[in-house]
Amino acid sequence: MTGLLVVTAVPAEAEAVRAGLTDPTVTVRPVGVGPAVAGAATARLLALAEATGHPFRAVVSAGIGGGFAGRAPVGGTVLGTRSVAADLGAESPEGFIPIDELGMPPEWLGGGPSVDADPGLLADLRQALPAATVGAVLTVTTVTGTAASTLALADRHHDAVAEAMEGYGVAVAATQAGLPFVELRTVSNPIGPRDRDTWRMREAFAALTEAARALG
């Protein structure tokens, strides 16, 4: 995918992606953890590229994340149909209220509380990665760590298959720049109570390298 910018949270993810690439025009950059720094850093990379006369053609948020049990297997690959700001909203006695139900116009949110993947990019990756699980990827600022919060997220987002911490921020930066966007994740652990015995980091990084072959 010529002219592609792939952003990851940390250098280890960037190295795993680079290990699977053959196209020298694909740029991979680690931009930091969480939607704020990821969005700001991505926006800066896009602006600098445009200023030098070599703009990027599209943006991919890539890395590892947690998968919802029964929806995305540990060690598997996930393609996001949309990236969702899952914990942006308000608490209430009746439960969590998503930001779009608080009466704020979509333009205050960079287009809305979720950003759809570009249909063309998503279709290309689905063809190249036919075994990947496809669904919404939730962006959270606090990693889900209890059975109750996992159930609540799954109930609020019936199409969600995974969660991570950067996708929505990167998606907003790409959207503001008028560029196609998609999120690609590999699953290192099931979402829920933190049990490191169930984590498969090595398998997730290996899967990320393999999935990166679809990027060029």
> Distance (Å, rounded) from C-alpha 86 to C-alpha 159?
12
4-215: CATH superfamily: Nucleoside phosphorylase domain (3.40.50.1580)
CA atoms within 13 A on the CB side of 2: 1
Higher-pLDDT residue of 156, 5: 5
Buried b (16+ CB within 10 A) or exposed e, 147-167: eebbeebbeebeebbbbbbbb
Task: Give residue 196's pLDDT band: very low, low, confident or very high (50, 70, 90).
Answer: confident
What pLDDT, on a 0 to 100 scale, did the predictor assign at position 87?
81
Higher-pLDDT residue of 119, 146: 119
Structural domain spans, the chain = 4-215
Average pLDDT over residues 92-102: 68
Helix axes 35-51, 167-176, angle to 10 degrees: 30
Task: Give residue 1's pLDDT band: very low, low, confident or very high (50, 70, 90).
Answer: low
> Distance (Å, rounded) from C-alpha 189 to C-alpha 170?
22
Are the CB atoms for 29 and 14 separated by under 8 Å? yes
What pLDDT, on a 0 to 100 scale, did the predictor assign at position 105?
65
Give the CA radius of gyration of the chain: 16
Average pLDDT over residues 71-88: 93
The tens digit of pLDDT for each residue in 23-68 reads: 999 999 999 999 999 999 999 999 999 999 999 999 999 999 999 9
Identify the three-state secondary structure at position 55: coil
Furthest-apart CA atoms within the chain: distance in Å: 53
What pLDDT, on a 0 to 100 scale, did the predictor assign at position 206?
97
Share of residues in the chain with pLDDT > 70 (%): 90
> Distance (Å, rounded) from C-alpha 10 to C-alpha 164?
12
Average pLDDT over residues 72-98: 84
Average pLDDT over residues 4-8: 98
CB atoms within 10 A of CB 61: 33
Task: Give residue 8's pLDDT band: very low, low, confident or very high (50, 70, 90).
Answer: very high
Least confident of 96-100, 112-116, 170-174: 96-100
Examine the pLDDT at 101 and tell me if it is beyond 70. Answer: no
What pLDDT, on a 0 to 100 scale, did the predictor assign at position 48?
96
